[in-house]
Amino acid sequence: MAEGAKTVAHMRPGDVGIILGFLDDHLSIKLMEMGCLPGSPVRFNFTAPFGDPICISVSGYELSLRLEEAGTISIVN
Partner 1 sequence: MIQAKRQKIALIGNPNSGKSSLFNFLTGLNQKIGNFPGVTVDKRSGYCQLSPGHDAEIIDLPGIYSIYPRSIDESIVSEILLNKNAVEYPDKIVVIADATNLKRNLLLVTQIIDLGLPVILALNMMDLAVKAGISYDFNALSKQLGVPVVPINARKGVGLDELKKCIEQTSTSPSKSIFKIWSDAYVAIKDLRIHFDVISDYGAYLFLEQPQTLHFLSKENQQKIDDLRNRHGFFPGKFQGAETIQRYTFIQDLLNEVTLKTADLGWKKNSQKLDLILTHKVWGYLIFLGILFFIFQSIFAWAQTPMDLIDGFFADISQYLNKILPEGPLSNLLTEGIIPGIGGIMIFIPQIAILFAFISILEETGYMARVVFLMDKIMRKFGLNGKSVVPLMSGVACAIPAIMATRTIDNWKERTITIFVTPLMSCSARLPVFAILIGLIVPDQKAFWFFNLQGLALMGLYLLGFFAAIGSAWIMAQIIKVKERSYLIMELPTYRWPKWSNVGLTIVEKTKSFVFEAGKVIMAISVILWVLASYGPGDNISKARENVLAQSQNERLTKQGLEDRIASYKLEHSYAGIIGKSIEPAIKPLGYDWKIGIALITSFAAREVFVGTMATIYSIGKVDESAAEGQKTIKNRMKQEINPDTGGPRFTPAAGFSLLLFYTFAMQCMSTLAVVYRETKGWKWPAIQFVYMTSLAYLSSFIVFQIMS
By CB under 8 A, name the binding residues for partner 1: 25-35, 37, 45-46, 48-53, 55, 59-66, 68-69
Neighbours of 50 (CB within 10 A): 6
Distance CA 37, CA 49 (A): 27
**CB-nearer residue toward partner 1: 20 or 55:** 55
Distance CA 32, CA 58 (A): 11
Smallest separation (angstroms) from partner 1 to the CB of 59: 5
**CB-nearer residue toward partner 1: 59 or 77:** 59
Smallest separation (angstroms) from partner 1 to the CB of 3: 26
Distance CA 74, CA 71 (A): 7
Smallest separation (angstroms) from partner 1 to the CB of 10: 18
**CB-nearer residue toward partner 1: 3 or 25:** 25
Paired with 73 in beta bridges are: 22
